[in-house]
Structure 1
Amino acid sequence: MSELQDKINKRRTFAIISHPDAGKTTLTEKLLLYGGAIHLAGSVKSRKTNRHAVSDWMEIEKQRGISVTSSVLQFDYDGYRVNILDTPGHQDFSEDTYRTLIAADSAVMLIDAAKGVEPQTKKLFWVCHRRKLPIFTFVNKLDRYGRAPMDLMDEIEKILHINAFPINWPIGVDGHYIGVYDRIKKQVELFDNDNSHGSKILKSTTGDLNDPAIKDAIGEANYQTLLDDIELLDLAGDEFDLQKVLDGELTPMFFGSAMTNFGVRPFLEKFLELSPAPQPRKLKDGSVVLPDNENFSAFIFKIQANMNPAHRDRISFMRICSGKFEKGMSVWHLQGNHPVKLSQPQQFMAQERTTVETAYPGDIIGVFDPGIFTIGDTLTTEKNKIQFEDFPIFPPEIFAKVQPKDSLKRKQFEKGIVQLAQEGAIQVFRQKNIGMESFVVGVVGILQLEVLDYRLKNEYSAQLLMDRLPYSVARWVYADDAEAIRNMKGLDNGMLVYDKLGRPVVLVSNEWNLNWLLERNPGINFTEVPSEARAI
């Protein structure tokens, strides 16, 4: 086996998806704790301390206790290099989540034991399912009262239309579980009841189900319930089939509590064993590039400005798809059509940065970006110019006209607007023959406007004047005759704007007004996204 193939086999790159408040950021933090990347876990919502989740680095995230941008985190565990993509749970930031899923090889779906499958979980599941991503389920918050494990398993199968195979099964009663039974190893693991409240690694005892000491520790009632559950699962449940897991047709199911660390280590170890190594990536021409291809290739899936407010830096995150990365190497930037030297390559543990000397397929690295990269860009060797498939485009549904409150801050305002658009946090449009100070911004969720206002004020020292526009539908427009677009009929209740590439876009308030335009302009084509892009 070559060194490259060996490195690939030891990489795991996955995203965590869930509905808001299911405990996603907490689980991420606990995986870092077990991986030795941190030594004391804190809670996002801790009232006794000022500690916040290590993956929430943006100040607004710490204030609101939610993730509004994807975090990229690495750690090593048992010979594996683990790349975690912690995504925002709130649906208003689903664009960032979808782009991040393109960089993942598998997904961990987090389910709240009390709430079951929630709307945003369902939405994100189908995005993963369409991409045939292997999906692993972690039922969280077993330290609280919740629904019966059998009911949760049944709900996953009925609502998401995917078969579930519980790898482990909780031992105990609702809200007072004491351990898990590993159905593969046929082994019991009982967790200590410590007082660290999840800040330290939880100690446990393992043993055979027939061991008298284990049986005594479980208790007669719990022991009999466990035997009955195991019998029912073995008789009525699916057989475990790893190929079905890798094809996205069967979800391995785990139970635990990220808050107390109950079940976290068994989940991590089994996930690393069952989840796929870095997979081939699709190219624009329909072919794929294999990870063990010696030619380096990568794509940009995330751009973040001002991760370090003191330096006002801008980092572009790339997913390495093939070949070996080496610090200082020159690569070909396909969209820019020129070579680029990748200086200051870094890997991240939240805001903590480590300089990268080498990296391999599946790894996520950040490089200093002077403003030349955009999301979806391809980086490759000059002699092997391939291009990865286009990233999906999200038609915005909420629009606002924005301008600086203080005209003396115009430069800071424009810089902030441009950089946040390059990050993919907003889409920016202009009106023709309107002063340069005013922009129209489009977003998918209202919280994105709050983040825009907050970040411009705190990162660029530019306060906003923001006027919401009465539009909810955007369509890119095309015609053989440009005059036909400029003289469009029936636009009294809409607005004609232009995107960053100068392409005309019509904004209207609803589908009825859109149909009104369609009827009166038969020579114009209307599309949800630019014609060369693909919608989500």
Structure 2
Amino acid sequence: MSLKKEIQRRKTFGIISHPDAGKTTLTEKLLLFGGAIQEAGAVKSNKIKKGATSDFMEIERQRGISVATSVLAFEYKDIKINILDTPGHKDFAEDTFRTLTAVDSVIVVIDVAKGVEAQTEKLVEVCRMRKIPIIVFINKLDREGKDAFDLLDEIEQKLNLTVTPLSFPIGMGYDFKGIYNLWEKNVNLFSGTKRKQIEETIKIEDLQNPELDDLVGSKAAETLREELEIVTEVYPDFNREEYLKAELQPVFFGSALNNFGVRELLDCFIDIAPAPRPKESDTRVVRPDEQDFTGFVFKIHANMDPRHRDRLAFVKIVSGTFERNTPYLHVRHNKKLKFSSPNAFFAEKKEIVDISYAGDIVGLHDTGNFKIGDTLTEGEEMMYKGIPSFSPEHFKYINNADPMKSKQLEKGIDQLMDEGVAQLFILELNGRKVIGTVGALQFEVIQYRLEHEYGAKCSYEALNVHKACWVDPKDSKSEEFADFKRVKAKYLAKDKRGQLVFLADSAFTLQMTQQKYPNIHFHFVSEFESVS
């Protein structure tokens, strides 16, 4: 198969939502349809019975939440699908934000009873900024929930999207009879005592067909006709070009736990979702069908298998083909590296692959060469843009709780920070280490992983910091900058890349500092060259 055809048949997307909207369950059901797994693991109310396929870290199994993005690949109707299942919990949002740099489209999952929640708003905002095509899946229709039209209004208003339903529910909760699929013009009936299986899919192109009354009852059929009339009058027709430009968002209804509406979502997704898209670097825009390989690291995961201290760098291939045992240029280090066992993923199961194409995600064994945002090429010197670190919101001193294990603690902190789990700041004044995280739960994850994966114990100490700001002086040799460093010495630290950071103890301090030193810029994102 030609390079262009191989790239065209790849679809890489992320699944995002607020916690508990059913994102991991939907991922499992998509894998089930793709024949990638034989039976789904049920994730129920934080008690993991048979852990979900995509939640493979020990702490995830205990908590019943996803704390790291997992990568899953499968084939469906000759399309190679790469799913990135992201954490929904807000404390792990930074991992999700970075993952969104590696996807070509997203599916947003919304709970029919809870509607649009806070975390969904934040994530969709990032997708809108990046112009990522979005499909919306309204989940849990077998439960009582909000009216379909109210939900569509809420999505339009709160998420600032332009929606068009491609399927529509017939009833809801106890009265849920099935779904009318506007994309394929058919009815899917929901049946069985436990209502776990789809009885059949029946082609009904003409809604006036009396067969519809026989199938769902005349009352439900009449309501459906009225509702679909409103749909065609109120919402725009689906237009793929508008969807690809992120100007129109199709909506599907279903119940992932009961496998309902998932096949319809998947069939439409492979028809309309984009193939790998071009990406901007610091020198030019790179197209996926270029011959030369380029890619970037968007995630690093230590100890995917605790028995082998392995560390994997997840690389999104942007252009060309990545081949095993071929030397590629690590642009930041300016040295060539060869990889003898690049991995393709299926949650924690990994397979060695000889060749991967633009759009694919490969895992490279890493001995400490990689940081998030690193670029690999066949020789061209360029860096991919826009994989920033965000200013943390929680800060604590980290202390060694077991002096005999200092080396293990050093190594553990070093590797977990490279993963982007949190950020490390070293105070200029006394060399003390400060951990900054986006969410408070991250501290627990770090403590747990240091003990279980590195055999090191740490304790935390409270620290009053309002914001970490990256310092960017107009003139690093100016008297103003020298005065700033002298006056604010006890608030200054270096991050892992050696960039100067100002740890402001309050919003007022930050405001006064900005006024006093007008020629120094304070950034809330580390990659200010490309963001400012």
* TM-score computed with the length of structure 2 as normaliser: 0.94
What are the equivalent positions in structure 2 for 1:123-142 lying under 5 Å apart? 123-142=122-141
Distance 1:497 1:151, change over 3 A: same
Asked whether the equivalents of residues 173 and 222 of structure 1 are also in contact (C-alpha less than 8 Å), the reply is: no
Further displaced range: 397-406 or 102-111: 397-406
Q: What is the deviation of 1:243?
A: 0.9
2 CA distance for matches of 1:318 and 1:447?
27
Pairing 1:473–2:467 present: yes
Q: What SS class does the counterpart of residue 169 from structure 1 fall into?
A: strand
What are the equivalent positions in structure 2 for 1:186-335 lying under 5 Å apart? 186-193=185-192, 195=194, 202=198, 204-208=200-204, 209=207, 213-285=211-283, 287-335=284-332
Q: 2:424 aligns with which of 424, 428, 437?
A: 428
- Give 5+ residue unaligned stretches, structure 2: none
Q: 2:347 aligns with which of 328, 350, 355?
A: 350
Distance 1:359 1:216, change over 3 A: same
Distance 1:293 1:175, change over 3 A: farther
Q: What SS class does the counterpart of residue 318 from structure 1 fall into?
A: strand
Asked whether the equivalents of residues 293 and 320 of structure 2 are also in contact (C-alpha less than 8 Å), the reply is: yes
Q: What is the deviation of 1:244?
A: 0.8
Asked whether the equivalents of residues 139 and 255 of structure 2 are also in contact (C-alpha less than 8 Å), the reply is: yes
Aligned to 1:26: 25
Distance 1:488 1:280, change over 3 A: closer
Q: What SS class does the counterpart of residue 132 from structure 1 fall into?
A: coil
Pairing 1:497–2:496 present: no
Q: What is the deviation of 1:453?
A: 1.1
2 CA distance for matches of 1:358 and 1:176?
50
2 CA distance for matches of 1:107 and 1:157?
17
- Give 5+ residue unaligned stretches, structure 1: none
Q: What SS class does the counterpart of residue 430 from structure 1 fall into?
A: strand
Distance 1:485 1:395, change over 3 A: farther
2 CA distance for matches of 1:213 and 1:181?
13
Please tell me the residue identity of whatever aligns with 1:404. N
- Residue by residue over 1:360-393, the C-alpha shift from the partner in whole angstroms, topping out at 9 and shown as x without a partner, is 11111111111101111111112x3333224123
Pairing 1:528–2:524 present: yes
What are the equivalent positions in structure 2 for 1:114-129 lying under 5 Å apart? 114-129=113-128
Please tell me the residue identity of whatever aligns with 1:471. V
2 CA distance for matches of 1:528 and 1:49?
37
Asked whether the equivalents of residues 191 and 205 of structure 1 are also in contact (C-alpha less than 8 Å), the reply is: no
What are the equivalent positions in structure 2 for 1:510-529 lying under 5 Å apart? 510-521=506-517, 524-529=520-525
Distance 1:48 1:450, change over 3 A: closer
- Residue by residue over 1:370-427, the C-alpha shift from the partner in whole angstroms, topping out at 9 and shown as x without a partner, is 1101111111112x33332241230122111102101111001010110011011111
Pairing 1:398–2:394 present: yes
Work out the number of aligned pairs and report it.
Answer: 527
**Aligned sequence identity (%):** 45
Further displaced range: 233-242 or 426-435: 426-435
- Residue by residue over 1:89-129, the C-alpha shift from the partner in whole angstroms, topping out at 9 and shown as x without a partner, is 11111111011001000010111101111111111111101
**Aligned-CA RMSD value:** 2.2
2 CA distance for matches of 1:325 and 1:284?
21
Distance 1:215 1:18, change over 3 A: same
1 CA distance for matches of 2:44 and 2:418?
31
Q: What SS class does the counterpart of residue 282 from structure 2 fall into?
A: coil
Asked whether the equivalents of residues 48 and 61 of structure 2 are also in contact (C-alpha less than 8 Å), the reply is: no
Asked whether the equivalents of residues 146 and 175 of structure 1 are also in contact (C-alpha less than 8 Å), the reply is: no
Asked whether the equivalents of residues 344 and 355 of structure 1 are also in contact (C-alpha less than 8 Å), the reply is: yes
Q: What SS class does the counterpart of residue 393 from structure 1 fall into?
A: coil
Pairing 1:462–2:456 present: yes
Please tell me the residue identity of whatever aligns with 1:499. D
Aligned to 2:11: 12
Please tell me the residue identity of whatever aligns with 2:413. I
Asked whether the equivalents of residues 28 and 53 of structure 2 are also in contact (C-alpha less than 8 Å), the reply is: yes
Q: What is the deviation of 1:464?
A: 0.8
Pairing 1:56–2:50 present: no
Please tell me the residue identity of whatever aligns with 1:467. E
Q: What is the deviation of 1:515?
A: 2.8
- Residue by residue over 1:229-265, the C-alpha shift from the partner in whole angstroms, topping out at 9 and shown as x without a partner, is 1111112221221111111111100000111111111
Asked whether the equivalents of residues 394 and 535 of structure 1 are also in contact (C-alpha less than 8 Å), the reply is: no
Distance 1:194 1:283, change over 3 A: farther
Asked whether the equivalents of residues 295 and 375 of structure 2 are also in contact (C-alpha less than 8 Å), the reply is: yes
1 CA distance for matches of 2:84 and 2:48?
26
Asked whether the equivalents of residues 47 and 64 of structure 2 are also in contact (C-alpha less than 8 Å), the reply is: no
Q: 2:415 aligns with which of 419, 422, 429?
A: 419
Aligned to 1:89: 88
